[in-house]
Amino acid sequence: MGVTKIESAQQWKELVEDSTEPVVVDFFATWCGPCKAVSPLVEKLSDSVTSVKFYKVDVDELSDVAANNGISAMPTFLFYKDGQKRDDLTVRGANPPLSRRPSLISPHKLGYEW
């Protein structure tokens, strides 16, 4: 399925805030080493967990979207269901726990049991 890059605030609203499906958003920066390191894992997860939509936001290109979501470190992964952010599932950084435990992004965790 792949990870789709969000290019505008309008696209953010349409794909994330107005979504009725589970969504994972990877906030990244092109200069961020840990972001580059974890990117292949996120791509692999997006291909294997097809019940979840995966998006990425470049914090330098969409600084307003990043600021509105309280992004202060990269990478940061936000999880949404029915357009609502699940703060309890937010992951900051490339090490804990996303890269160590890809099972966190599973249909059970991200699907309809949220």
Note the pLDDT tens digit of each residue in 2-30: 999 999 999 999 999 999 999 999 999 99
Dist CA 112 CA 22 (whole Å): 8
Tens of pLDDT, residue by residue over 35-90, are 999 999 999 999 998 899 999 999 999 999 999 999 999 999 999 999 999 888 88
Query: How confident is the model at residue 54, as a pLDDT?
Result: 97
Spans of all domains in the chain: 3-110
- pLDDT exceeds cutoff 90 at 109: no
Tokens at residue 79, please? 């999880």
Of these residues, 16, 29, 35, 45, which one is catalytic? 35
Cα dihedral sign, 63-110-51-34: positive
Quick one: fold of 3-110? Glutaredoxin (3.40.30)
Query: How confident is the model at residue 18, as a pLDDT?
Result: 96
Dist CA 104 CA 16 (whole Å): 20
Query: How confident is the model at residue 112, as a pLDDT?
Result: 43
Tokens at residue 15, please? 């794909």
Angle ∠(43,30,79) on CA atoms, nearest 5: 50
**Catalytic residue flag (residue 32):** yes
Query: How confident is the model at residue 114, as a pLDDT?
Result: 43
Give me the chain's average pLDDT, please.
Answer: 86
- pLDDT exceeds cutoff 80 at 105: no
Determine phi and psi for 21, rounding to 5 degrees. Answer: -105, 160
Query: How confident is the model at residue 89, as a pLDDT?
Result: 85
**Catalytic residue flag (residue 35):** yes
**Could you check whether the bond before residue 75 is cis, i.e. omega within 30 degrees of 0?**
yes
Of these residues, 23, 32, 74, 78, which one is catalytic? 32
